[in-house]
Amino acid sequence: MTQTYTTQMDAARKGIITPQMREVLANEVISEQLLLERVAQGRIAIPANKHHHNLKAAGVGQGLKTKINVNLGVSKDVCSFEGEMNKARLSLKYKADAIMDLSVSGDTEGFRKRLVAEVPVMIGTVPIYDTITRTGKPTEQITVEDWFETVRIHAENGIDFITIHAGLNQKCASSLRLNKRLCGIVSRGGAILYEWMAKTGQENPFYEYFDRLLDICEQHDVCISLGDGLRPGAIKDSTDAPQIEELITLGELTKRAWAHNVQVMIEGPGHVPLHEVEMNMKLQKKLCHHAPFYVLGPLVTDIAPGYDHITSAIGGALAAMHGADFLCYVTPAEHLRLPSADDVKEGIIASKIAAHAGDLAKGIPGAADLDHAMSAARGSLNWEGQFNLALDPEKARAYRASSEPADKGVCTMCGDFCSMKRLKGLL
């Protein structure tokens, strides 16, 4: 008899291997039993909306490769949906694991539907943004029904995971007022909800009516990415009382979601100095019961506009090493403008380097295989082999082609002094 299930978590708890789980098993070194156990426990999430029919599912969580996400979407000032589709195609070319649509202008639903129809990786959104765009209302005039109607629309559109800032409740808001920050609230979703709460005097609707949110997510198998509305946006604000207060609340909401068979990821900071990255990872895992951790960076310094893909990659590698499961890329345009296609590529490559470095440190099975193959190609001066193994083969080829050596077997850095050439056959 065919067993039925509502969500990937529900299936795992019933011992059912879903088609999405089989796709995860095909791309990871993990047993069926361990995958079932960790999905059932909430330590692995497989975001897979029932309406995203062309999805090639991926797992996020304990024992799996660190995944990376690409943010894209239009703004009022730069509103080209075709340009954003080109960024989506670029993301697939460079093997991003997820795409988040953060569009805040124009036909957002039409664009979401196009993404779901054309993009086979998991797709996320932030319904809080879209509520303002969809309704056209001033923030204080938005109703509880408006907030939840947007969530329902996104779920029916086929979105695999939604960021919901449900932990920024009135208690956390009070903590923020008592503990002044250098940069206040930098989360757009967090700022919108804080403004709504301040102007209406009401509790965060996603906190107050969390079970209503769970009902929608369970019906469509949408993973909730519990947003960190109070993430630090400055090194000085890192790991402060409001951030930790919200994290404690997110841990409580995680248990409630799991009781409804709804999968959860936890979003994390933000701007964090190097010496606090490990502590932040361990705090999240402890307070949120080892739910998958989705890290926005973290950026380890505030002084590098134009190079924040690098500050993010440094923090991301350390975060992944200490348990982060999912890295949100940061582009060189962060804090400055809507990223261009070139910015997107730079952000993807930097984030993939960070994720892979973290996997090497975590000892993810098979993670070092490509490194060993690259080393073997370098040791034998196999240039074509090196290009084929590179994260960005086109850039590697272009660099070599731009400076051709007289001896085609070496490069113009060392030439006849090449150690590999001199010791060939001697070791």
Check residue 1 and give its pLDDT.
Answer: 53
Rounded mean pLDDT, 225-229: 97
User: Is there a single domain that holds both residue 102 and residue 239?
Assistant: yes
DSSP-derived secondary structure letter, 235 = G
231 annotated as ligand-binding:
yes
Position 1 in a domain: no
**Residue pLDDT, tens place only, 270-329:** 999 999 999 999 999 999 999 999 999 999 999 999 999 999 999 999 999 999 999 999
Check residue 424 and give its pLDDT.
Answer: 87
Position 427 in a domain: no
271 annotated as ligand-binding:
yes
Number of Cβ within a 10 Å radius of residue 371: 12
User: Is there a single domain that holds both residue 385 and residue 272?
Assistant: no
Rounded mean pLDDT, 98-103: 98
172 annotated as ligand-binding:
no
Asked whether residue 415 carries a pLDDT value surpassing 70, the answer given is yes
356 annotated as ligand-binding:
no
Check residue 3 and give its pLDDT.
Answer: 79
User: Is there a single domain that holds both residue 12 and residue 156?
Assistant: yes
Instruction: Determine phi and psi for 267, rounding to 5 degrees.
Output: -90, 145
256 annotated as ligand-binding:
no
Domain coverage including residue 172: 8-362
State how far the Cα of 161 lies from the Cα of 97, in Å rounded to an integer: 13
217 annotated as ligand-binding:
no
255 contact partners, CB below 8 Å, separation of at least 6: 289
Q: Assign 295 to helix, strand or coil.
A: strand
Instruction: Determine phi and psi for 193, rounding to 5 degrees.
Output: -70, -40
| pTM of the complete model beyond 0.85 | yes
Residue 262 is part of a domain; what is its CATH number? 3.20.20.540
Residue labelled with tokens 């894209």: 72
228 annotated as ligand-binding:
yes
Position 2 in a domain: no
237 annotated as ligand-binding:
no
**Residue pLDDT, tens place only, 240-274:** 999 999 999 999 999 999 999 999 999 999 999 99
- Domain tally for the chain? 2
User: Is there a single domain that holds both residue 67 and residue 196?
Assistant: yes
Average predicted confidence (pLDDT) for the chain:
97
User: Is there a single domain that holds both residue 304 and residue 383?
Assistant: no
- Out of 339, 362, 385, pick the residue that ends a domain: 362
71 annotated as ligand-binding:
yes
223 annotated as ligand-binding:
no
**With contact defined as beta carbons under 8 Å apart, do 50 and 272 qualify?**
no
**With contact defined as beta carbons under 8 Å apart, do 326 and 163 qualify?**
no
260 annotated as ligand-binding:
no
User: Is there a single domain that holds both residue 346 and residue 378?
Assistant: no
Residue labelled with tokens 């402060």: 240
Position 225 in a domain: yes
In percent, how much of the chain has pLDDT > 90? Answer: 98
